[in-house]
Amino acid sequence: KFVAPKERRPVYQHKWTENDEDENESGSEGAAGGRVGVAGPVTSKQQRIPIYKSNEGARVHKVKEAHQCLESGEHDDFKQDIEYILSTMKGDSSANIKCLSAISLARKCVSPEFRQFIRSEGLVSNVFKGLAEAANDQNLALCASTVIYLMSRDFISIPVDAHSLRLLSQLLRIEKLEQNEEQKKYATMVSL
């Protein structure tokens, strides 16, 4: 095999020093001579300090641990969820939307962490106020009963005020659910 000899090509190497005056003088001589020199590695007069060892950069203090970040994110999620659910239950929403909100609240109440969050933030009375119209609609009454049952699963007692007690007594008075046309339609759909 015939291998061509390697040609020496000019290589640009930047000198990382603060002595720019020396560079300009040597650069003007090189340009006047018409020669570009190939230099070896440039050693600086000062020892370079790695970036991670310099004390000039900003340092971040009070960094949270991983479990603290998870708890904070979980707390924010719970707060946003309960605010959204309660906003749909308090307005002039239809009974179906209130039922869906109560069902989503019941799904959240399955988690002991969520139930603890509701108690610790003092949102139990807000939940009962959101479910205040449950006695007027039997579907909403069933959903509200599910939420109340799931919230009372812990050994910790639920704080009950006058509005909450009124709702509980109204729900306990319901003896038999009457089926209207919509419920009959859904019952036939399930049986098929």
- Judge whether 81 lies within some domain: yes
In this structure, what DSSP letter does residue 137 have? S
CA atoms within 13 A on the CB side of 15: 17
Find all residues with CB under 8 Å of 40, minimum gap 6, and list them.
none
- Judge whether 117 lies within some domain: yes
For CA atoms 106, 110, 114, 116, the dihedral sign is positive
- Judge whether 34 lies within some domain: no
Residue 93 reports pLDDT greater than 80: yes
Report the Cα–Cα distance between both ends of the chain, in Å, rounded: 84
- Judge whether 185 lies within some domain: no
- How many structural domains comprise the chain? 1
- Judge whether 166 lies within some domain: yes
pLDDT in tens, 9-66: 666 676 766 555 555 555 544 444 455 555 555 555 556 655 555 555 566 777 777 7
- Judge whether 18 lies within some domain: no
Predicted local confidence at residue 172, as pLDDT: 87
- Judge whether 106 lies within some domain: yes
- Judge whether 31 lies within some domain: no
Mean residue pLDDT of the chain comes to 76
Q: How confident is the model at residue 91 (pLDDT cuts 50, 70, 90)?
A: confident
Domain span at 93 = 66-176
Predicted local confidence at residue 13, as pLDDT: 72
User: And the tokens for 37?
Assistant: 């020199």
Tell me how crowded residue 99 is: count the other CB atoms within 10 A of its CB: 20
